[in-house]
Each structure stands twice: as C-alpha cells, then as structure tokens.
Structure 1
C-alpha cells in the first residue's frame, strides 16, 4: 500500500474491486475526489489515478477469480492496515463478468467456474474479511455494497450463469441482514444499465447466444445508458447515507424516483 506518510488518513475509506476500468474506475475516481482513501483490487493497476492521487490511492494486484490467491492475499496485512483506525470502511464488490453468454449445454465449463469465483466467491470472501476486522470504536461502521443487476431479479435467456451469480449476491445480502455483526451494513445494489465494456460484450454477442441483444442495442442507440460517472455518484451517495442497509436489496433507479 502506498499512502504518503504526511497525508492525513481519511475517516471514511473505500475498497473497490475491478477498479481499473468501467464502473470500478469511476467509483475509485469519485471516491478520491471526495477525499476518501481508496484501495483498489484487481488483476491490473490504474496508472492515471495512482499519479493523480498518490497520497490517497493504494492498489493490490490479485486475481479475484482465483479463490486461493484471494485467500492468500486476505491472510496478509494490507486490508487490515488500510482499514485500521477508519470510522467507516466501504467495500464496493464491483468486479464481475457476464461470460459465459450461452444457453445451457453450450457454456464453457471453466468459464462457468471462473464466473462463480469472480461474481460470488470473491465478494463473499471480502465481505467476510471486512466484517471480521475489529472496529476502531463502538460507532465505527463497515458497509458492504454488492454491485447487483436487474439480472439478479429477472431471468434472461443466455444469461443463466450471470443471473444466478447476481441473484446469489442479492440473497447473501438478505441473509447477512439477519445476522450481521454490530456496525456491519450490507446492500446488494443495482446501478441500472451502465455504458461499460460489459455492454460492448453484450452487443457483440450473437442473437443465438443472447436473444435479447436487440434491446441492449436500442438502449445504446437511444442514449438510455447511464454513464459510469453518474452511476458511481449515485452508488456512493447511497452507500454513505443513513438509509444504507435499511433494505438488503435496492436499485438506484428506484432511489432516484423516491
């Protein structure tokens, strides 16, 4: 971890997985712009943010689709050192994959295993590690934000793996809400349809593999996709609000309407 020794540590700190591109990069940048220290986790690094926010930005290279590698990283001191003394620690479980996109019987077995590891095992392992850390005070909080999807709550042909993994995060949040340790809040939060690389992957998929491709093409053509930057601000606003954790699942589009 590379925080400047002379820079004051922020009372609120955030961990963002998949921070090098798309929504994860937008989350990391928006948090840093609010003077919130960020620890980014992923297979690569974000050079631009590292140069702009050297005093508040740390990164760890770990393959989140490899549970053994993540377990080894969690056994180290980086996460504990980053969270130590913080009044509030946010965990944005953002990293994920939409692959494999295909009907049952045409899915690659290793792609299924990787999707389950990245989309489900990693968020659950990180949430567990965060909840297990001692709080700096009785009023300190740990807030787990699972980045969910409409696919968690609606079935799509060709997306059985993605739907199942996102639904797993929703149900994990529902169960954790029943037994969370003091100071721990959780919400599986859908950000709406965001214009990221995942959307490019969806639009490049054949109709045979994903029959609803045309719907997502129309969302792009009609300018109905949210930008990563706008979605990030909504997610952060809710994560920092007093309402966070009052319900285990939510959608930012409903929050805006409310």
Structure 2
C-alpha cells in the first residue's frame, strides 16, 4: 500500500499533485494553512510552515505516524514555498527573509526527518519541489535562489547517507502557471530585472498547467528510476 504526504496542497501545483495522487488511488495527507476541495482519499491538517514553533509542536504529535501506518511505500512531496522577499539585499524585509528560510528550507528538512522516522519499515521517497533558481542565480532572488539551492544539497547529502530504503530527489518542475508566477509578473522591474522574461512566457502560452505538471511529477515519483539522480529536472526525467 502506498500513502503520500503533500505540503502546500491547498492551491496551485500542490493541489494538482494531491488530486493526481488521489485519482491514482493513493491516500493523501495534505498539510497547508488552508483546506482544499479534493474529495475522498484526502486527509488534511492545518500547518503554518512559516511558524517554526507551531510546526515543531505539530511534528511532536502523532498525526504523521498514524496516517502512514500500514503502508509499504510512503511518499513526501515538499511543495510549499514562497518567492518573496524579492529585491536587492538593501531593500529586503529581514523578517520576510527569515520566514522564507523557514518555509522553504527549515520546514521541508524537519518534515523529511520526521517522515523518515514515522515509517521505519516502509520504503520512503522524498521529493523536494526545487527550481532552476537553485542552480542559477538571478538578481532580486537571492533568498529564493539560496533556499532552493539548499534543497538540492539536502538531497545530495541524503543520497550519501546510503540508506537504500530512503530516496530523496530535489526536482525542478519547470515553469508552471500558478499564483507564484502571477506574483512574479506583478513585481516591479526595479526589484526583479528579469520580470519581462516571465511576462513573455505567460503571453507566449508556454507555461505548463499545474495538472499537466502534476501528472508527470507523480509519474517520476512512482518510477523505478526515482532516486537515481539526487538533483534532477522534470523535463529531463520525463524524457
């Protein structure tokens, strides 16, 4: 039996991933600040990944282990993330930078450890939703680039641990038509000089839908080759 945990499932790519898993008959525990209408096969818990103390308290409970009990294979999709603060260092809100670090790095790393420990007898697969921004630096995105790069390094280090029953992949999914993309396009040019590139992609119709991306991402997560590359790009793995 397979069970899955998906963070940031209440909208965008996270909602599409959760829906895709449920469609394939895989029970899902969704973790987010809000709820989603996905239907049967979906359990949900309200967790604010930007609140480290609240997340720590939740992780000390039994929701995770209770949900994963009885599964032969368990999946964790660390999807929740934020792009803000955007702008040069001199203009960044320090509190926003701290919150981004907790959401984008602290939460997935803590949840990954708790997830592995909660299902010691199962095969455990962890997928970090990373970004090309973790592999190439962009002006105005120092926080976002750094936090996504951290997920890549986490996956590489987990692979070096050598546990054959724990597989971790940091996967860049490509450019998807989500609220985050709308936020990027609404950013002032002075804060993000490369904004026009993202505007052009939207106007050119090249952004992938969340549903289409989610189907390929779940294929990757369930494939036999999952874990062969600790850091990967969905456009490569889907080829």
Q: Is the shorter-chain TM-score for this pair beyond 0.5, marking a shared fold?
A: yes
Distance 1:169 1:143 in 2: 15
Q: C-alpha distance in 2, partners of 1:131/1:183? A: 10
SS at match of 2:91: coil
Q: Give the CA RMSD over aligned residues.
A: 1.0
Structure 1 gap segments, 5+ residues each = 1-10
Runs of 4+ in structure 1 over 6 Å off = none
Report how many residues are paired.
Answer: 239
TM-score (normalised: structure 2)? 0.98
Which residue is equivalent to 1:5? none
CA distance in 1, matches of 2:238, 2:156: 22
Q: Deviations over 1:114-172 (max 9, x none)?
A: 00000000000010011123434xxx310000000010001110000000000000001
The Cα of 1:254 is off from its aligned counterpart by: 1.4
Select the residue among 187, 204, 213 that pairs with 2:195.
213
For 1:64, the equivalent position in structure 2 comes to: 49
Aligned to 1:169: 151
Partner of 2:29: 39
Q: Distance in 1 between matches of 2:134 and 2:208?
A: 19
Q: Residue 113 of structure 1 is aligned with which of 87, 94, 98? A: 98
Give yes or no for the alignment of 1:192 onto 2:174: yes
Equivalent residue, structure 2, for 1:19: 9
Q: CA deviation at 1:182?
A: 4.1
CA contact (8 A) 1:131 1:181 kept: no
Q: CA deviation at 1:62?
A: 1.1
Which segments of 5 or more consecutive residues in structure 2 lack a partner in the other structure? none
Match of 2:231 among 249, 255, 258: 249
- SS at the partner of 2:238? helix
C-alpha distance in 2 between matches for 1:182 and 1:65: 31
Q: Does 1:81 align with 2:66?
A: yes
Q: Map Cα deviations across residues 51-110 of structure 1 (whole Å, 9 max, x no partner).
A: x21xx2100001111111111111111000011110111100000000001111100010
Deviation for aligned residue 1:192:
0.2
Q: Partners in 2 of 1:23 and 1:131 — Cα distance?
A: 23
Q: CA separation of 1:180/1:85 partners in 2, compared to 1, >3 Å: closer, same or farther?
A: farther
For the residue of structure 1 that corresponds to 2:77, the secondary structure is strand
TM-score (norm 1): 0.91
Question: Quick one: distance in 2 between partners of 1:181 and 1:126?
Answer: 18
Contact 1:151 1:167 (8 Å CA) reproduced:
yes
8 Å CA contact 2:220–2:238 kept in 1: the answer is: no
